Amino acid sequence: MKTYIALLRGINVSGQKKIKMVDLKAMFETIGCTSVQTYIQSGNIVFEYAEETNNILGQRIKEAILEHFGFEVPVLVLTPKKLIEIFENNPFSKRLGTLGFEDKKLYFTLLTNVPDPVAVSALEAADYGTEEFVITNEVVYFYAANGYGKTKLDNNFFERKLKSPATTRNLRTMTKLIELLPNTY
């Protein structure tokens, strides 16, 4: 068995696509996942499964959600190594705790596909005031200086501009997911 992290996009938001975590855990178990742990209601799951490629496993989870709950949900599957790599490569980490730089305003927009290079260049050339971001092939590290609820640079913005499905998690969620990983993966 191998450990994986599944990040679901758009469940339990504004009363849409409701899934209770106990039901989600049970669904994961019906497709052969073990040691299933969920974190908060937004679709963060750490689990073990027979070795599989991330894309195939993501598709299997997506199909099971459609079958069990009746709606489609984008699913991004990561290995512990990839999650930790993304977390540790955060270009804003050295600024955390410095004057005016709040950890609650730091976000990770995880990309399903490598973003369009022309779109990346266009975004990097534009002025977004105090909002800061760094785009890689796998994630947009984003500092929402005015708060995520007030920014125009939300998940939908980056999906549309980068032409890649994405899901966003805050620093606290990323930290907790890493804490949930078994010591041996």
Signed CA dihedral, 135, 141, 146, 147: sign only: positive
Average pLDDT of the segment spanning 156-172: 95
Length of the chain: 185
Helix, coil or strand: residue 174: helix
Kind and range of the H or E run holding 27: helix 21-30
Look at residue 14 in the predicted model and tell me its pLDDT.
67
Where do runs of H (alpha helix) occur along 38-142? Answer: 54-69, 80-88, 117-125
Least confident interval from 14-18, 30-34, 125-129: 14-18
Helix, coil or strand: residue 157: helix
What percentage of the chain has pLDDT greater than the value 70? 97
Q: Is the pLDDT of residue 133 over 90?
A: yes
Q: In the structure, what pLDDT confidence band is assigned to residue 164 with cuts at 50, 70 and 90?
A: very high
User: Using an 8 Å Cβ cutoff, are 58 and 7 in contact?
Assistant: no
Q: Is the pLDDT of residue 184 over 80?
A: no
Q: Which residue matches tokens 């496993």?
A: 57
Q: Is the pLDDT of residue 41 over 80?
A: yes
Look at residue 185 in the predicted model and tell me its pLDDT.
63
Q: Which residue matches tokens 């790599």?
A: 85
Look at residue 117 in the predicted model and tell me its pLDDT.
94
Look at residue 52 in the predicted model and tell me its pLDDT.
83
Question: Domains in the chain, ordered, with CATH?
Answer: 2-78 (3.30.70.1280), 84-180 (3.30.70)
Bridging pattern class, strands 166-170 and 106-111? antiparallel
Q: What's the mean pLDDT when you consider all of the chain?
A: 92
Look at residue 18 in the predicted model and tell me its pLDDT.
85
Q: In the structure, what pLDDT confidence band is assigned to residue 97 with cuts at 50, 70 and 90?
A: confident
